[in-house]
Structure 1
């Protein structure tokens, strides 16, 4: 891990090829949150392909329209959801329809890491 950041709505871990985000319990992820995460991605991965991994340890909601904005990040090569929770995985299946980038759903972080490393090489 290159760096770990704590924001008021989440924790972010930055790696060479991906960022892992754990959103806090009860948060509703809005465009303002997305803008902050997009800015972090720009700062750490400018001109370098990367994957966004959301590790869904907590219960929170996401405005699906955010994925339309997320799709505009040129160097974003994929978006991964990691959760063992059936509801979180089901929600991810719906969210997947709003993103025009490769979208993976995994039970384990290691699976998402492997997928992310493959995606940045494509």
Structure 2
């Protein structure tokens, strides 16, 4: 890991080619919070492409409006990670709203391997 950032609603782990976003329990992750996170991504990645891994093993809600907001253009892939079957169902609903590579994993390590291999 290159950098770890904590906010009052999430934890970010930033690596060379990917970022892991872990939103805290019972947080509603909305456009306002996403804007804060996007600034952190912009500062770290600048304009370099990266993959976002959303660790959803902790229960929280995601506002679908995020997919319509002006997200960073350099996010090339999105991985959702959770062992919870309800999260898989929600990811299926989210996938059509994300126009780039989208994957679901039950284990964080599998998502990290996918992200590392993404730019080879």
Unaligned runs of 5+ in 2: none
State how far apart, in whole Å, the 2-side matches of 1:69 and 1:78 are. Answer: 16
* 1:1-122 matches, cutoff 5 A: 1-69=1-69, 72-121=71-120
State how far apart, in whole Å, the 2-side matches of 1:23 and 1:86 are. Answer: 18
Aligned residues: 120
State how far apart, in whole Å, the 1-side matches of 2:99 and 2:72 are. Answer: 10
Distance apart, 1:119 and its partner CA: 2.2
State how far apart, in whole Å, the 1-side matches of 2:75 and 2:21 are. Answer: 15
Distance apart, 1:84 and its partner CA: 0.5
Mapped contact 1:53–1:79 kept (Cα < 8 A): yes
What is the aligned-residue RMSD (CA, Å)? 1.2
State how far apart, in whole Å, the 1-side matches of 2:69 and 2:116 are. Answer: 23
Length-normalised TM-score, structure 2: 0.93
Mapped contact 1:19–1:51 kept (Cα < 8 A): yes
State how far apart, in whole Å, the 2-side matches of 1:57 and 1:24 are. Answer: 10
